[in-house]
Amino acid sequence: MSSPGFWLPGGPWPVAALLALAVALLALAAYGDLRRELGRLARALDEARNGDVLTRFHSRAPGLRALAAGFNQILRRLHDLEAQRRRDEQRRRQLLAALSHDLRTPLTAVLGYLEAVAGGHLDPVTEQQYLATAYRKGRELRETLDRIFQWARLDLEVADLPSPRINLAERLRQVLIEFYPAFHQQGVALQPELPEEAWVRCHPDLVDRVARNLVDNALRHARGITCLTVTLRPAGRTWELVVADDGEPVAGDVLANLFVPFQRRPGSPGTGLGLAISRQLARAWGGDLRACPQRPRGLAFIVTWPRSEPAAASRAAQAAATRMEGRPGEGAEPR
């Protein structure tokens, strides 16, 4: 018996032959589609290699969908890296411009006054005034350099410091005492609101640097300030230090750049590094530093510390000391 088949011009064709022909035609079609898709992918690769990281490749071919997704993911990552590189380059240029200004301005003033004195044509009173001004500008230059070195060495310094358990409230009281003469001289009222105890794990030097920076920032930069409130309060698992002034409102663009290195309000003294250093220190101990405008006027800086209660042995010793204070004995009077 002959094999079943279809009658086509030229004679009967077996079914197997028709199926083989159909598969061959489909394979040729698929091969043609694949070649076209691979050609599109090659063009996209050329565009990416020439710097166009926004190009994308999409394909409906089942075998190429995963490849297209991976290709696009790589290009998105390259785009993000390129954008970050440009931002870093812009910040580097701004940093160099700020450094040049902050160093050249006082140095030029110092050299100018000293050159006038060295000329020998000044009367004694003017000469003393020029020397005093040169000395003041020299101190400003040294302060700028100190802040720059602090910023450059910040990560190394913080990494080497231990984190003992300390009473934050007591440490803040000691810092505020240092500023009493400055508050009196500027006619600014200080209103501290500190508890007896507030335990945290942090190196005392870091507490001092952040607290001094915030108080000094208010006294030097808050315009129209008459009162400064320093409050330490519990907030869940953290302690919050709020340093709030009643000065003039701060513009939105200034507020947005408060923690950007070398950025400061026009006409304000300093290097623009104090707040940036303070925020980095706060984050180093697991806290943070942010700024919030006050209503109707003023600005508040809020620092957070993770809370750390005193050890059980320490609490027991304190309780024993308290009980002993109430007992009559040598050197103590009965109560």
193 part of a folded domain = yes
Q: How confident is the model at residue 211 (pLDDT cuts 50, 70, 90)?
A: very high
276 and 182 in a common domain? yes
Alpha helices in the chain (DSSP H): 15-49, 65-118, 124-160, 168-178, 180-186, 204-221, 252-256, 274-284, 312-325
Look at 49-63, 77-91, 171-185 and tell me which has the smallest mean pLDDT: 49-63
306 and 173 in a single domain? The answer is yes
Same domain, 173 and 308: yes
pLDDT over 80 at 22, yes or no: no
User: Has residue 330 got a pLDDT over 60?
Assistant: no
From 19, 50, 82, the end of a domain falls on 82
- Does residue 266 carry a pLDDT above 50? yes
* More confident position, 99 or 144: 144
| Other Cβ atoms closer than 10 A to 165 | 14
In-domain check, residue 241:
yes
74, 191: one domain? no
> What mean pLDDT comes out for the span 121-144?
85
- The answer to whether residues 76 and 173 belong to one domain is no
Would you state the structure tokens that stand for residue 183, as one six-digit string? Answer: 């508050």
For residue 332, pLDDT beyond 60: no
**Is 170 in the same domain as 307?**
yes
* Exposed/middle/buried for residue 321 (C-beta within 10 Å: 0-12, 13-18, 19+): exposed
Regarding whether 172 and 49 lie in a shared domain, the answer is no
**Same structural domain, 73 and 179:** no
**Structural domain that includes position 263:** 165-313
Rounded to whole angstroms, the Cα distance separating 152 from 139 reads 20
| Structure letter (DSSP) for residue 327 | S
The crossing angle, in degrees rounded to 10, of helices 168-178 and 204-221 is 40
Residue 65 and residue 188 share a domain:
no
274 lies in a domain?
Answer: yes
Say what percent of the chain tops pLDDT 90.
Answer: 24
In a domain, 49, yes or no: yes
The answer to whether position 118 is within a domain reads no
Q: In total, how many domains does the chain have?
A: 2
- Burial of 109 from C-beta contacts in 10 A (0-12 / 13-18 / 19+): middle
- 2 within a domain of the structure (yes/no): no
Distance of alpha carbon 8 from alpha carbon 18, whole angstroms: 11
Query: Is-contact 297 248, C-beta < 8 A?
Result: yes
Beta-bridge partners for 233? 240
Identify whether residues 174 and 307 lie together within a single domain. yes
Nearest CA among 126, 106, 203, 121 for reference residue 160? 203
Mean pLDDT of the chain: 76
The DSSP letter of residue 239 is: E
Pairing state of beta strands 288-293 and 199-201?
A: unpaired
76 plus 169 within the same structural domain: no
Report d(CA 226, CA 52) in Å as an integer: 56
Final residue belonging to a domain, choices 65, 82, 99: 82
Lowest model confidence (mean pLDDT) among 28-42, 74-88, 182-196: 28-42
Residue 327 — very low, low, confident or very high, per pLDDT cuts 50/70/90?
very low
Q: Which of 57, 82, 107 is the last residue of a domain?
A: 82
Q: Are residues 69 and 177 in the same domain?
A: no
User: What does the pLDDT look like over 274-291, one tens digit per residue?
Assistant: 788 888 888 888 889 999
Amino acid letter for position 297: R
The angle formed by the CA atoms of residues 53, 59 and 64, to the nearest 5 degrees, is 100
Q: What is the DSSP track for 121-159?
A: -S-HHHHHHHHHHHHHHHHHHHHHHHHHHHHHHHHHHHH
Report if residue 145 sits inside a domain: no
3-state DSSP assignment of residue 21:
helix
pLDDT at 29: 52
**Short-list 136, 87, 151, CA closest to 279:** 151
Q: CA 16, CA 290: separation in Å to the nearest integer?
A: 78
Q: Is residue 37 one of the residues assigned to a domain? A: yes
The tokens 């109707």 sit on which residue? 296
Identify the CATH number of the domain in which residue 201 sits. 3.30.565.10
